[in-house]
Amino acid sequence: MGQVRPRRPRFSFTVKFAAVILVAGAMVAVLPLLLARAATTTQALQRASDKAGIVSNLVGVQRSSLQAYAGGVARQLSSVSAGTAPAALTAQLRQDESVNEAEDVLAVTTAAGETVAVQDGSSAGPDPHLLAALQSAVRTGAGTIADASGGAWMVASAPVQGPASAMVARPITAAFLEALRRSIATTADTAGLALVRDSQTAAVSPAISGDLAVAVAPVGGGFSLVVSTSVPALVQGWQPALLVVSVILGALLIIVAVVQSSLQQPLRRLDRAVAAMGRGDFDEPVPTGSDDELGRLGATFEEMRNRLRATMRATAARAAVATQMSASQPLETSLRNVCAELHANLDVDAVMIVVTGSEMSDPFTVVQGMPHADLDGLLSGDGPLGAGHRYTANGALLVDALPASDEARFGLREFCVAPLRVGKHVHGVLAVGCATRTLAETDVDLVSSTAEQVALGLERYRFLAVVQRQASIDDLTSLYNHRFLVDYLGQQVALSERLAAPLAILMLDIDHFKALNDTHGHQAGDTALAAFAQTLLSSVRRSDLAARYGGEEFSVVMANTTAADAHIVAEKIRAAVSAMRVTLPDGTELPLTVSVGGAAYPEDTDSAGELLALADAALYRAKRAGRNRTAMAGEARRAGARRARLDVVHTRGLDPAGSSTSAHERHRSPQ
């Protein structure tokens, strides 16, 4: 069993400072009153001035936070249509206001000059006088305004579109002043803080009033923060002059050394960290080394810094996700960018989006921060992804990855998973994972809101895919329609001519289809067309495009295909159709045959644009030759060439006058 080490006692700054004063008082029995008074006063003024500087930096941090919040609201409202009704703007503003302080006022001025404002703490909305002052501050660039009762408000604004602006105002309340006062006060050095509106007072230099050291920090709009700290009382005594001279130097050295190491240096480090936050740099940590009042103050600032950084990153991430999901780009590109934004703004090890398959698309996965893996099967498992996929409540779910789960092989310990749900349909899940860090509530909120945006984006993409499919698919046969065929053939023709690549096309016509319609009715004809389309689709290659040209005519476009290969495919189709039997609605089984005409580029023509006409001509040759056969455009050209050669051989002979004539002379016109 290990030895238990005794815990060393830790003394607070107050105890250490009191011990130093006690030692100095014992050493300095008699100190000249005026000299001590002057030194104490100077120190008190310096402390008051330092505290005023800290207060100014803290107010600056609040202004930066308001400015960042107004910028985030402006970026969200930039995607809203300029003609949006005020009620819709009010709903959007109340949604944004819900994450801020209750007394805050959030407003937006539209391009038409109309102002829409909300205040979460008031059902009647902002005070008209305050709203007018807020609008005036945005025009003049003022950072502080006064309401009708004389209260002070901090103001921030950001442009939305054109002359429109997003505005936010936060009151400087007694609670806010008390929080500032607690931030600058310690047990050994209490402080007072007051807000005044007096131009003369705001202009006064730091001064002493009675037993208080006072410093003024202007905050704009005629308002100033007055910081006061007490001047310690002095204890007088009398000692021999030689003792005074000898002990004063030693006491001062001890006091300066202790105060320098225990008070001034920590305060300066804290001041530098707070000043960095005032500049918008929230990545510099606040020092929290000691366990005294200054250490606890630093810990409070460090917690505030982490919260502000998380809020700003979450706001930026929401705006970036909204931009990506509304951008005109492929779906997987948008989701990949969303994963990158979450990975950059959340301190997580991996981000993944798993989209389930549908009738319009295959399932796919987008990951960031880990090797790409097939995660679709995990949605039906018992791990974190499966639990998130089955989660029926609103928001996101925090789940630990058990060692036996499939997700544990990725080295991630904790997951935050949200279903991509629109109504009752779940498109997949959005998940973030951490190997060591514990996810916070701000992370859960961001994952939840991002999942809602991604789900809406997936629903929009699915709707557009359905519309595009309906516009390009023939309802009866489920093949591509004539318009899509023409567009696709035009693209393939241009590509083949540019790359000098082969291209073939087949034209197909069901034999005796009119007789089938006349004998058995149009319903039987529709049944035959649908059955033929399925046979055609199963007979062509995956790279070929089958379409209904019109009526009982069909077409197949085959890229990178020669005439010989096209003839093989045509014969395969013709044989499959000859072997099929169509069962009509009345139970009658009928055979079908098909005639096929084909043409290929560049074997049959120098222009790929002529392929359709050549294939159509070949189809009619197959019809005239007896149907249920394949005719290629090149066959007619080669047959014509053979007839011409035979004609030249057999027509050489004697003319009626007994002289020898050539074939060319034989076919010349008498004229």
Q: What is the mean pLDDT of residues 170-193?
A: 81
CA-closest candidate to residue 335, choices 365, 358, 379 = 365
**Integer CA distances (angstroms), 618 to 312, 575, 576, 636, in order:** 69, 18, 20, 8
Is the CB of residue 313 less than 8 Å from the CB of residue 346?
Answer: yes
Q: What angle do CA 55, 58, 60 make, to 5 degrees?
A: 110
Q: Of 25-29, 251-255, 405-409, which range is least confident?
A: 25-29
CA-closest candidate to residue 419, choices 446, 443, 448, 442 = 448
Q: Who has greater pLDDT, 96 or 336?
A: 336
Q: What is the mean pLDDT of residues 658-671?
A: 35
Q: What is the mean pLDDT of residues 638-647?
A: 53
- Per-residue pLDDT tens digits for 56-74: 888 888 888 888 887 887 7
Domains 327-464 and 482-650 share a fold: no
Q: How does residue 195 score in pLDDT terms, banded at 50, 70 and 90?
A: confident
Judge whether residue 235 has pLDDT over 50: no
- Per-residue pLDDT tens digits for 295-337: 677 677 766 776 766 666 667 667 777 776 666 677 788 888 8
- Please list the alpha-helical segments (H only) found in 557-632: 563-579, 611-624
Q: Residue 602: is the preceding peptide bond cis (ω within 30°)?
A: yes
User: Would you mind telling me the total number of residues written for the chain in this entry?
Assistant: 671
Distance of CA 589 to the CA centre of its chain: 57
Q: Can you give the pLDDT at residue 638?
A: 61
Domain limits, the chain: 327-464, 482-650
Q: Can you give the pLDDT at residue 32?
A: 56
350: Cα within 13 Å, side-chain hemisphere: 22
Q: Which long-range contacts (CB under 8 A, 24 or more apart) does 297-304 make?
A: 297/183, 297/186, 297/270, 298/266, 298/270, 298/273, 300/183, 301/183, 301/270, 301/273, 301/274, 301/277
Q: Can you give the pLDDT at residue 291?
A: 64
Q: Who has greater pLDDT, 375 or 227?
A: 227
Q: Does domain 327-464 have CATH number 3.30.450.40?
A: yes
Is the CB of residue 444 less than 8 Å from the CB of residue 396?
Answer: yes
Judge whether residue 201 has pLDDT over 70: no
Q: Of 183-197, 364-378, 379-393, 420-434, which range is least confident?
A: 364-378
574: Cα within 13 Å, side-chain hemisphere: 23
**Integer CA distances (angstroms), 620 to 60, 291, 459, 627, in order:** 85, 97, 47, 9
- The rounded distance, in Å, linking the Cα atoms of 611 and 503 is 9
Q: How does residue 85 score in pLDDT terms, banded at 50, 70 and 90?
A: low
- The rounded distance, in Å, linking the Cα atoms of 449 and 480 is 39
Q: Can you give the pLDDT at residue 300?
A: 75
Is the CB of residue 301 less than 8 Å from the CB of residue 274?
Answer: yes
Is the CB of residue 193 less than 8 Å from the CB of residue 107?
Answer: no
Q: How does residue 260 score in pLDDT terms, banded at 50, 70 and 90?
A: low
Q: Can you give the pLDDT at residue 349?
A: 87
Q: How does residue 347 score in pLDDT terms, banded at 50, 70 and 90?
A: confident
**Integer CA distances (angstroms), 393 to 424, 442, 453, 457, in order:** 11, 18, 17, 20
- Per-residue pLDDT tens digits for 531-585: 999 999 999 988 899 999 999 999 999 999 999 999 999 999 999 999 999 998 8
- Residue 458's identity, in one-letter code, is L
Q: Can you give the pLDDT at residue 333?
A: 83
What's the whole-model pTM score?
Answer: 0.39
Q: What is the mean pLDDT of residues 360-376?
A: 75
Distance of CA 63 to the CA centre of its chain: 26
Q: Can you give the pLDDT at residue 654?
A: 40
Cα radius of gyration rounded to whole Å, the chain: 43
- Provide the total of helices (H) and of strands (E) in the chain, helices listed first: 19, 23
- The rounded distance, in Å, linking the Cα atoms of 222 and 224 is 7
Residues in Cβ contact with 166 at an 8 Å cutoff, skipping those fewer than 6 apart = 70, 71, 73, 74, 77, 106, 107, 108, 157, 158, 159, 160
Q: How does residue 242 score in pLDDT terms, banded at 50, 70 and 90?
A: low
Judge whether residue 78 has pLDDT over 60: yes
Name, of 178-182, 589-593, 663-667, the range with top average pLDDT. Answer: 589-593
Q: What are phi and psi of 396, to 5 degrees?
A: -110, 170
Q: Of 278-287, 520-529, 602-611, which range is least confident?
A: 278-287
Q: How does residue 19 score in pLDDT terms, banded at 50, 70 and 90?
A: low
Q: Of 212-221, 374-383, 536-545, 662-671, which range is least confident?
A: 662-671
Q: Can you give the pLDDT at residue 402?
A: 84
- Per-residue pLDDT tens digits for 130-176: 778 887 877 787 888 887 777 888 888 888 776 678 888 888 888 88
Q: Of 366-375, 463-472, 501-510, 637-646, which range is least confident?
A: 637-646
Q: What is the mean pLDDT of residues 488-514?
A: 92
User: For the packed helices 293-326 and 33-78, what is the interaxial angle rounded to 10 degrees?
Assistant: 10
Distance of CA 354 to the CA centre of its chain: 15
Judge whether residue 177 has pLDDT over 50: yes
Q: Can you give the pLDDT at residue 655?
A: 46
Judge whether residue 658 has pLDDT over 50: no
- The rounded distance, in Å, linking the Cα atoms of 263 and 259 is 5
- Per-residue pLDDT tens digits for 487-498: 899 899 988 988
Is the CB of residue 321 less than 8 Å from the CB of residue 339?
Answer: no
Q: Can you give the pLDDT at residue 572?
A: 96
Q: Can you give the pLDDT at residue 206?
A: 45
- The domain at 482-650 falls in which architecture? 2-Layer Sandwich (3.30)
**Integer CA distances (angstroms), 480 to 492, 504, 526, 547, 616, in order:** 15, 18, 16, 4, 19
Each residue of 579-600: b (16+ CB within 10 Å) or e?
Answer: ebebebeeeeebebebbbbbbb
Q: What percent of the chain has pLDDT over 70?
A: 68
Q: Which long-range contacts (CB under 8 A, 24 or more apart) does 192-195 make?
A: 192/227, 192/228, 192/229, 193/55, 193/225, 193/226, 193/227, 193/228, 194/225, 194/226, 194/228, 195/152, 195/219, 195/223, 195/224, 195/225, 195/226
Judge whether residue 11 has pLDDT over 60: no
Q: How does residue 1 score in pLDDT terms, banded at 50, 70 and 90?
A: very low
